[in-house]
Amino acid sequence: MSSISIIGVGNMATALGGRALAGGNTVEIIGRVPAKAQALAAAVGGATAGTLGTAPAGDLVVLAVPYAGAAAVVREYGDALHGKVVVDVTNPITPDFTGFVTPADSSGAQEIAGAAPAGAHVVKAFNTLPCDVLAAGLVEGRPVDVFIAGDDAQAKAHVSAFVESLGMRPMDAGALPMARALENATLLQLGLITHSAKKPNLFLGVSILS
């Protein structure tokens, strides 16, 4: 099992924190407003509340914050993230859901990696899952697929083990530049939700034919 620090107190933090604890992981919740972090830690049951700015306790540090503030959070922690695996769950999508706020040759995860200190390994994961789907973990008895991308094999293995502890299936998509494809997958989902499915809990998975 893993030790997890979740930076953020929103719906994704709530869903991940609850599933992580159910999977036997230790969880620390960190937020800019200590009272909110403490309230979420109590709500998910069994988590502790950390202090923003001090070194995260977890080996995995999950950025469950809006993309607009994610790189700033990483820079704020600086060398305290050395040796940590930073899990980016964000989506750098424009407010009108038509494109990205990142450069055309980059991704949100790559921009965050550029802000991270040497020795920290950024892995993209969970960004294609709505929080309700993430909280469920299973859909019609089938484990939900979690796509991951990163440059460090050991870091991806760590995240994959964490995903499996949640009762989900890790799917390695390749190196960190593949994060752009995963962010495009979320953009596709938003388009399908808006124009076809008309429901917010659409998600993408993989079926492998025998």
Residue 48, in any domain of the structure:
yes
Residue 207, in any domain of the structure:
no
The string of pLDDT tens digits covering residues 127-184 is 999 998 888 877 878 899 999 999 999 999 999 999 999 999 999 999 999 999 999 9
CA 123, chain centre distance (Å): 9
Q: Spell out, as residue ranges, where the chain has pLDDT lower than 70.
A: none
Give the C-alpha separation, 184 to 133, whole Å.
19
Q: Which stretches of 32-152 are DSSP H helices?
A: 34-44, 67-77, 108-115, 131-136
What's the pLDDT at 185?
A: 96
Residue 157, in any domain of the structure:
yes
What's the pLDDT at 3?
A: 95
> Is the C-alpha dihedral spanning 184, 206, 85, 53 positive or negative?
positive
Task: Quote the domain boundaries for residue 129.
Answer: 3-197
Residue 209, in any domain of the structure:
no
Residue 179 maps to which CATH number?
3.40.50.720
CA 202, chain centre distance (Å): 17
Q: Specify the number of domains making up the chain.
A: 1
Residue 208, in any domain of the structure:
no
Cα end-to-end span (Å), the chain:
31
Name the nearest CA neighbour of 205 among 153, 157, 136, 159: 136
